[in-house]
Structure 1
Amino acid sequence: MTNNGNKYLAGAVSFAVFAGVVGPAAAVSWTPPGVTMGVPLGAAFAPGIYVSNLTHYGDGPDKSITADVPAFTWSTGWKVFGASYSAVVIPEVLKVQNKVTSKDFAGIFSPLLIPVSLSWNLGQGFFVSVGEGIYFPFDSDVSFTTSGQTSGWAAETRVAFSYLKDGWIVSANTIYGVTTADDIGRRQPNYFNVDWTVARTFGKWQVGAVGYGAWDLEETVTNAAVGKGHIVGVGGMVGYDFGGSKLLLELTRAVEQGGATNYSRNDTHVWARLTFPIWKPAEPGEEHTALK
């Protein structure tokens, strides 16, 4: 919550709702902590166009959220500096219920464009990728904006390290975000996220552990707390490969929380991700694909 009676609603889906006069921002990253769990982003898809649709429900002491986050990835098959080049577009539809005020908010969050993502195959099952993305200004009840105003921008650098060999999937996907203010000067703090996965495949099945962490890189001040907000969550994952498409189911719980933040230590989240190609060239290349 914020000063002057504003209601700032945010969860692990990284959005905000403002319904009043100006007050200080509270901590929450633009990219939802946990949304890349289970996906070894260090390795590129095989050439083609893919949809990875994440449906997400979270419930905590003071709010519940529902989100649908489709990611559209074009893995070009082109080589840039020896790396596989991809581009990604990620819209996000959100609904939040504030249990304190009994109000619901829904809408489209600021869209994310990642025009450049480069993945290097280092050999022996090791991959590393670097991507640059940007959230565009947007006017929505669930964007990082004061009511009636347009949100600012946010730029992200994404670096992922993945190991894929002998049935093992081990990945750390990191995100560094730099934010700008909305029309009236209200801004979220810069942030750092990491989503991690340790999993093993058994035939068509995949079983493992997942987790996430998000940390503010600047202090924020609210009427409840002062300091850098953070959240850490852990959970489990099970997946199944249908042959071309892949389903991942995850369950997480936030186990550590602190600072001036709208995250809740007791938040429980359920994640379901279906990934499938919508187009592939007639003769795909030999790059690794997470669907393989």
Structure 2
Amino acid sequence: MCACLAAAASPAFARSAALPGVTVGLPTGAQPPTGLYFNLTTSFGMRETLPRDSQANANQPTFVWATPWPGDKTQLRFVFTQPISAVSPQAREWEGGFGQQFIAAQLARDLGGGVGVSYMLGGYQTTGTRFAIQSPSLAHRFAISYTADGWNLTANLHYGMMLESRSPSGVLSNDYMNLDLTATKRFGQWQVGAIAFGSTDLPTGVASYRPQGQVAVGALVGYTFNPVTVQAFVTRDVAQRNYGGEETRFWMRVLVPLYRDQREALPNRTLVSRDEN
């Protein structure tokens, strides 16, 4: 759950406030044990723009509070993310700064048989970082997960609504839709599988606007050290629209339970179900 950088400033980034692919590998429709969790997702991307490649680093430290309420197979969660990012458009000098804070509440429901669903409502705040999106927005997220028998089969749909049609600097702000997909299997403490994501700008009504979109696929490997889980994955665009070139992105994630109800915790399990960033 984090703010992504504006494409007007760098073709290495999507316009969506949520970084496309940021929730792959997470069972966002499932319920973690009651507790407080820390999730750090970092990525380094290289986009094949001309005349030189563009590079970007995005870091999304996130706190998730999974509450015991309201019970009866339903869980309320609260999420906070403060992104820190840097960009180098076409090999120019690096710029860095804080991205848009994300604050959200999420309801997750256990449907039985290893199936869970969730809905998140949150908001991205304005930021003074010039290369980041400066318009506030609402984020709706709908997830479904199957987590029985060591599987993590998850689809997480992001729908973002910009609250201002243009940023204070005059950059056009558009609604967006992202879809993050995960299909992994756990073997003991190891986790391996395939991931994919897609993103698209939604119509703006401005005839001169060139909407952007991408589809990327990749592979993930994870290991649980109990209680900490580490994931590494790589994604590559197989299709892109108006970005100037395909992107290869390398990701690393660390999931740390700061506190959890030991009566609910299970070994070798991806405990943090995070819809952020």
**TM-score category, normalised to shorter length:** 0.7 to 0.9
The 5-angstrom pairing of residues 153-232 of structure 1 reads 153-181=136-164, 182-219=167-204, 226-232=209-215
Which residue among 55, 62, 65 is the counterpart of 1:64? 55
1:99 alignment partner, SS class: helix
Aligned to 2:275: none
Unaligned runs of 5+ in 2: 273-277
Aligned to 2:119: 130
Q: 1:250 to 1:103 in 2, by over 3 A?
A: same
Tell me which amino acid in the other structure corresponds to 2:112.
Answer: G
- Structure-1 separation of matches of 2:14 and 2:194: 26
- Structure-2 separation of matches of 1:127 and 1:195: 16
Deviation at 1:228, TM superposition (A): 2.9
Deviation at 1:152, TM superposition (A): 2.1
Q: 1:81 to 1:230 in 2, by over 3 A?
A: farther
Tell me which amino acid in the other structure corresponds to 2:194.
Answer: A
Aligned to 1:233: 216
Contact 1:219/1:227 (8 A) holds in 2: no
Q: 1:80 to 1:137 in 2, by over 3 A?
A: farther
Deviation at 1:219, TM superposition (A): 4.4
Q: 1:27 to 1:250 in 2, by over 3 A?
A: closer
2:94 alignment partner, SS class: strand
How many aligned residue pairs are there?
261
Cα deviations by residue, 1:225-246 (Å, 9 ceiling, x for unpaired): 8543211000000010111111
Q: Which of structure 1's runs of 4+ aligned residues deviate more than 6 A?
A: none
Tell me which amino acid in the other structure corresponds to 2:198.
Answer: G
Contact 1:27/1:220 (8 A) holds in 2: no
Tell me which amino acid in the other structure corresponds to 1:29.
Answer: S
Tell me which amino acid in the other structure corresponds to 1:165.
Answer: A
Tell me which amino acid in the other structure corresponds to 2:42.
Answer: T
- Structure-2 separation of matches of 1:153 and 1:128: 27
Aligned to 1:37: 24
Which residue among 254, 257, 276 is the counterpart of 1:277? 257
> Aligned-pair RMSD on alpha carbons?
2.6
Tell me which amino acid in the other structure corresponds to 1:106.
Answer: G
Deviation at 1:185, TM superposition (A): 4.8
Identity of matched residues, %: 30
Q: 1:267 to 1:140 in 2, by over 3 A?
A: same
Contact 1:251/1:269 (8 A) holds in 2: yes
- Structure-2 separation of matches of 1:91 and 1:13: 8
- Scaled by the length of structure 2, what TM-score is found? 0.86
Unaligned runs of 5+ in 1: 1-11, 20-25, 145-150
Tell me if 1:139 matches 2:128. yes
Q: 1:256 to 1:190 in 2, by over 3 A?
A: same
- Scaled by the length of structure 1, what TM-score is found? 0.82
